[in-house]
């Protein structure tokens, strides 16, 4: 038996919808399925606008363009994140300022942000790790005080909440991912959520190669033209058809993942009580979406042995981000502000267990048994 770390989500109606997209003879961007997905996102998340994009990376690039990030501007983010969070701003010439994370949620330490602000700082990019929210009240307060914009990297955070608000809708911009490893997928894809309606027109222009084609399609103008600098960030309706099948069944996918997460937690809590492993922490004012189930071993050495042990038992468990400030590009384009107390230490302990839609209960039982066996329990 082999238990994979991830299996792309598939609910069964995807192929029918892709067939419909083909029959519609509308396989380019902004077709009927793209509209259904954007509308669903706007209604479910509760935001002024959701634009489907070719990836979360591209949604973040759009946010950087909308904020007019210039060479020399500074952007604050955690070092414990995926490269895209930084890349989107580095492409505009920004300098990335990394700050430490909190050891409980693995999210940016909100108490370290203000000290990293300079007169060049333009934005803060909180990353909601494992779909668990950063401390958004504090982050928004700092942003307001220093006139900074907030771009939420909510790649993992769809359907999670902070004090009742959906992640991705609290900052000025929110970025979702529909990569095959995320809760809902279209292979490669994402969405940009826009809170302030004043950015919508410019966002549509950037996404449509710098043209006002979106306005043209809505019949608001009779000819479309090149009006600004832009790119092509709209996904094919074929991909949107795949995503629509999943959004339609979002509740089923959500509940299934939450059940798996809950079972992992229950079966491993004994190890946490005995001080052998640490389990994920979800603050009381947050709800999560079971994007990920991780455990933290005592050390890098212990984690390496546990990964190897599980692999021998047919279980593919994996570690996660290498802190960006230690990577060659991180050193070139960024700097760590303050002391790295938790980022490296906690990232070396963390191990992600298999988690996907449809993961069978027996497999979770088997995985947790093997972990207990490793620790001699």
Overall residue count recorded for the chain in this entry: 377
Q: Which residue has the tokens 């700050």?
A: 99
Does residue 211 touch ligand PLP according to CB under 6 A? no
Does residue 82 touch ligand PLP according to CB under 6 A? yes
Among 96, 127, 151, 310, binds ligand PLP (CB under 6 A): 127
Does residue 77 touch ligand PLP according to CB under 6 A? no
Does residue 179 touch ligand PLP according to CB under 6 A? yes
Does residue 346 touch ligand PLP according to CB under 6 A? no
Does residue 132 touch ligand PLP according to CB under 6 A? no
Among residues 316, 311, 302, 312, the alpha carbon closest in space to that of 271 is found at 302
- Residue (81 or 133) nearer to ligand PLP, CB: 81
Does residue 56 touch ligand PLP according to CB under 6 A? yes
User: Contact 377/341 with Cβ under 8 angstroms?
Assistant: no
Does residue 85 touch ligand PLP according to CB under 6 A? yes
Integer Cα distance of 369 and 321 in angstroms: 26
Q: Which residue has the tokens 């937690």?
A: 265
**What are the DSSP calls for 3-57, one per residue?**
B-S------S-HHHHHHHHHHTT--SSS-HHHHHHHHHHIIIII-SEEEEES-HH
Q: 67-103 burial string, b = 16+ CB within 10 Å, else e?
A: bebeeebbbbbbbbbbebbbbbbbebebbbbbbbbbb
Find the shortest distance in angstroms from Cβ 56 to ligand PLP: 3
State the Cα torsion 356-358-362-366 to the nearest 10°.
Answer: -10
Which listed range, 55-63, 239-247, 336-344, 357-365, lies at the site for ligand PLP (CB under 6 A)?
55-63
Does residue 157 touch ligand PLP according to CB under 6 A? no
Find the shortest distance in angstroms from Cβ 349 to ligand PLP: 19
- Residue (230 or 235) nearer to ligand PLP, CB: 235
- Residue (56 or 96) nearer to ligand PLP, CB: 56
Find the shortest distance in angstroms from Cβ 164 to ligand PLP: 23
Find the shortest distance in angstroms from Cβ 235 to ligand PLP: 11
User: Contact 101/85 with Cβ under 8 angstroms?
Assistant: no
Does residue 235 touch ligand PLP according to CB under 6 A? no
Among 112, 121, 133, 177, binds ligand PLP (CB under 6 A): 177
Among 86, 113, 155, 317, binds ligand PLP (CB under 6 A): 155
Find the shortest distance in angstroms from Cβ 134 to ligand PLP: 12
Find the shortest distance in angstroms from Cβ 4 to ligand PLP: 17
Among residues 50, 96, 53, the alpha carbon closest in space to that of 73 is found at 96
- Residue (313 or 320) nearer to ligand PLP, CB: 320
Sign of the alpha-carbon dihedral angle for 168, 169, 174, 180: positive
CB < 8 Å & 24+ apart, contacts of 219-225: none
Residues that bind ligand PLP (CB under 6 A): 55-57, 81-82, 84-85, 127, 153, 155-156, 177, 179, 190
């Amino acid at each position: 038996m082999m238990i994979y770390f991830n299996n792309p989500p598939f609910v069964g109606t995807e192929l029918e919808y892709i067939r419909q997209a083909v029959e519609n003879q509308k396989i380019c961007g902004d077709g009927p399925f793209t509209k259904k997905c954007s509308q669903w996102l706007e209604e479910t998340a509760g935001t002024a606008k959701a634009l489907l994009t070719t990836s979360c990376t591209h949604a973040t690039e759009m946010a950087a363009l909308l904020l007019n990030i210039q060479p020399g501007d500074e952007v604050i983010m955690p070092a414990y994140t995926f490269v895209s969070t930084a890349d989107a701003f580095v492409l505009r010439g920004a300098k990335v300022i990394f700050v430490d994370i909190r050891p409980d949620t693995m999210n940016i330490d909100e108490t370290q942000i203000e000290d990293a602000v300079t007169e060049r700082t333009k934005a803060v990019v909180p990353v909601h790790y494992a779909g668990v929210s950063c401390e958004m009240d504090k982050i928004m307060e700092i942003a307001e005080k220093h006139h900074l914009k907030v771009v939420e990297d909510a790649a993992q955070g769809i359907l999670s909440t902070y004090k009742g608000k959906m992640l991705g809708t609290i900052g000025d911009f929110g970025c979702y991912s529909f990569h095959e490893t995320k809760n809902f997928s279209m292979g490669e894809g994402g969405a940009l959520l826009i809170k302030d309606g004043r950015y919508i027109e410019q966002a549509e222009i950037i996404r449509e190669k710098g043209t006002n084609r979106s306005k043209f399609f809505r019949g608001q103008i009779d000819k479309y033209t090149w009006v600004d600098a832009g790119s092509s960030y709209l996904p094919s309706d074929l991909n949107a058809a795949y995503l629509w099948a999943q959004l339609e069944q979002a509740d089923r996918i959500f509940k299934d993942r939450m059940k798996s997460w809950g079972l992992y937690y229950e079966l491993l809590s004994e190890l946490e009580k005995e001080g052998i492993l640490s389990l994920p922490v979800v603050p009381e004012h947050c709800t999560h979406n079971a994007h990920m189930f991780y455990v933290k071993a005592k050390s890098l050495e212990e984690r390496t042995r546990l990964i190897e042990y599980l692999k021998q038992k047919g279980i593919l468990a994996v570690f996660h981000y290498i802190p960006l400030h230690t990577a060659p590009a991180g050193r070139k384009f960024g700097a760590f502000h303050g002391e790295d107390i938790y980022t490296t230490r906690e990232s070396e302990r963390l191990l992600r267990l298999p988690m996907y839609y449809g993961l069978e209960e027996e497999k979770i039982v088997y995985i947790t048994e093997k972990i207990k066996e490793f620790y001699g329990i």
